[in-house]
Amino acid sequence: MKGKFIAFEGVDGCGKTTLIEGLRKHLVGDGYEVTVVSELSGDNPLGSAVRPFIVTNDTDGLTKLLAIYAARRESLEKVVAPALAKGHVVLYDRFSDSTMAYQYDTIVNLPAGARAAIDVIHNDTLRIARPDMGILLHCDAREAARRIGNRGGPRDEFDTLDHITKHAMHYLQMGRNPSDRLGGVESPHSWCRMYIGQPTECSEEVSKRDVLQQAIRLLQRL
């Protein structure tokens, strides 16, 4: 059986890790082999090395983008593609929409030639493995900041309320203006939006269980 590749997008504190773990347990219980990948973590040695440069203002924006794509290609080639070939369901924590959301100011201000080069790199990277579905978790920025604060431990510039608010806006803007996305008009995957907490577009709070059940239903379409 061909594997399935699901990408999860959203700001820090929106609940991606919780949802991914819930889906992993559900899928394993149903007899699926599951591979969970976090691009800029210990799952990927290159990604782990890249992360310190991504979260600092001391690194040039284009350099950050190139480093992100180097880590992504490494992850797709060495982890994702082999897992898909074995029939695994791959749950991937952050993909290209997250790159656009977090590096938005850099990308939209690139000279035309540099932007074209990034789009070429982006599209070539998708040749290695392309998500079958993407799930964006949208959470109220204040709730996301509260959750991050409750974790304890070190924090970086992306964890401030101002940054979370800005990144959440960028995610939603991509939904309204698909041409903002990297690589052209189309997202690299079928794109589904799910709400947690009380964003302005959602009239009532959605529980973690509700979100998990909604995600399970989405996966059943594949």
DSSP assignment of 34-81 = EEEEETTSTTSHHHHHHHHHHT-TTS-HHHHHHHHHHHHHHHIIIIIH
Cα 211 to its chain centre, rounded Å, is 17
Q: Which residue has the higher pLDDT, 191 or 94?
A: 94
Please say whether the beta carbons of 158 and 83 come within 8 A: no
Whichever domain contains 203, its CATH number is 3.40.50.300
Domain of residue 57 covers 4-219
> So what's the pLDDT on residue 189?
39
Quote the CA–CA distance of 20 and 39 in Å, as a whole number.
14
Q: Mean pLDDT across the stretch 181-199? A: 42
Tens-place pLDDT, residues 139-174:
777 777 677 677 766 555 566 767 677 777 777 776
Q: How many structural domains comprise the chain?
A: 1
33-77 pLDDT, tens per residue?
A: 999 998 777 667 777 777 777 776 677 888 888 988 999 999 999
Residue 137: per-residue pLDDT: 80
- What is the structure's pLDDT at 153? 60
